[in-house]
Every structure is written in C-alpha cells, then in structure tokens.
Structure 1
Amino acid sequence: MMKIVLLSILFPFVLLSQILEKQNKLLWDGTDWEQVVKRVEGNPEMTYRIKSAYLTGILDGRLYYYLKVWGEKQAFADSLYGDRVDYLTPRETVGQLDRFYEDPLMDFVPVVSAMIIVHMQAEQVPKKVIDQYVAQTKYWINQLTLDMQSRGMHELLKEKQEKHSNIKNR
C-alpha cells in the first residue's frame, strides 16, 4: 500500500519534469534519433518509417521556406538553400545518419544539420570544410541551448519574432 501511495506521488513529478524538459527542446538531435529504435522495440520497418517521415518533414519545411524566400529574392534563396540534401535516397540518408550518430560526440548535432553533413560526406566535400561546418553547428546549437536555458524558449522565440517583424517593416 505504501508503495502505491509513494508511486502515485512521485509519478506526476517525474512526468512533469519530462514534459518540462521536452518543452526546452527545439530540434531533434542524435539522442532523439537513437530513441526511435527503442520506442518501436527494435522493429526495423517501423524504425525506418519514423526516421524517413521525420526527414520528409524536414525537406517539406525546407522547400516551403525556400519557395517563400524565392518569391521575394530568388538569388538570396538560391544562396541560402544551395546545399544539396537530395543526393542520397531516403534509405541511404537514414543509414548514414545512423552511422553519424554512432559517434557520441555528435549526439547533440541537430538532425537537420547532420543531414547536410552526411550529404556533404557523400558528395566528397573536403573533410576540412565538413569539420568547419560541424564546429559551427555545435557552436550555434550550444548558444541556442544556453539562451533557452537563461531566458526560456518562449522569451527567446518572442525576441526573434519581434526582431524579424522590425526588419520586415523597414
């Protein structure tokens, strides 16, 4: 009886802490990528479907914003979204991302950045360029994480939105 009471008291706190932790998560990274296999109990087909669907969502969002920017300034859109992320098939991309995230030092690299990195590797971009991209990615994601921790995600996104609105209204 005492265990039930204790569990009923602790469970809401554990659940709340997990919810709060996830609220500060802006992007999927290697830790999320690796959790997919566990959540589907190792089912390879379901693992592929979930990972592939996530990658499709990234590509859809990327295309949406490319077209939105392209409508305003075509050359800027082309320069901003110039890196190819369709060099590999979805199955190859999933496999390369699985391999990429085997390195624990890459766990906190967002999937969207890792996707660009594995395509750069497949296209045989020089290692020095890839290493610079990885370093820049780690820097900005660490800065973003620190900003979210110090000011909170809601406040940070509000500031970004206000800044964007001010630039747009000029």
Structure 2
Amino acid sequence: MAYQSGAAITKNLTYQWEKMGASGWEVLTGKTTQTLTVAEADINTYGEYRVTVFRDGAEIGKDIQGVMDASDPYDIDPHPSPEDEAITEDTSGNGQVTYTPVVVKRGTNTKALNTLFYFVIKDAAGVYLNSQNDRETAKASCAVTRAHCMQAGGDVSITITAQD
C-alpha cells in the first residue's frame, strides 16, 4: 500500500516488479499489480523482489522484500570475515568484510556443492555499489568495503547467488 501524509493512495497507481538475478535486477514483464505471488519454482532457496510504485507515471517509492523457500535442500552459508560483519567508520579499524560462501545442506555445515558465486552489493534502495563486470563475474569471494558503506550512506546488503 502506498501512503501520503498518512492516508492511503489508491488512485492512478501502477507497479513495476523486479527480481534480483545473478547479476542484478531483472524486470518481471507483465507483473504490474499491487501484489506479487511468488511460487516455489520462482526461486532457489531465497529470492529478492523490488517493487517501484508510480502515480500518474511519476515514481513515488520503492520497496524490497525477500522470500525464502524452506523446502529447498540447500542453503548458502556466507562465511563472512570478520564474523560480526562490522566495518568501522574509523579508518584505523576494520575496513572490509570478506564473504567466502559455501553451498551447504540445509540445517547443517556439510558442504554440498563446489561452485563459484555471483555477488551483488547494493544500498537500502537497491542501487548497485559494485560494477556490472564485478556483478557478472562468478568468483569464490567478495569484499564489502568502507567505501561501499560511505557510498551507500551506511546500510549495505549483499546478495550471493551460486553459479550452479
């Protein structure tokens, strides 16, 4: 639901839905209603969806939601280093978090697949913080840096997708 000054806006609204793919946001053609139904077959373990709301053709807001398929037998353990995923503002402190993920059997630490990963680093609005080439190149690890945090104004998220 879209709100303006505390009141629900219901007229002249259109919606554009996107799904986070291996290398970035992909428009879901034909998905233009207020709600989106996500089926089990639409995601592998976890999926992120972003909706952009327009009123009379002008963008008025965005939101991102995650969906988990708990029936999937696999999960991605991100293995962040340091484990607390903290990056300090002070340049004498920790300046990055490195993710070296592993595909595991859900509910265990047992490695299930040998694979590389795609990494998409973004701010709270879903704006990319890493380059297109970086997003589209499968690799074993990825670092989120203090520079990413500064560019984002604080909040940074990373989406990790297995190549296989």
- Which TM-score tier does this pair reach, normalised by the shorter chain? under 0.3
Larger RCO (CA within 8 A; separation ≥ 6): 1
Compare the two structures and name the one with the higher helix fraction.
1
Larger Rg, first or second structure (1 or 2): 1
Q: TM-score under structure 1 normalisation?
A: 0.22
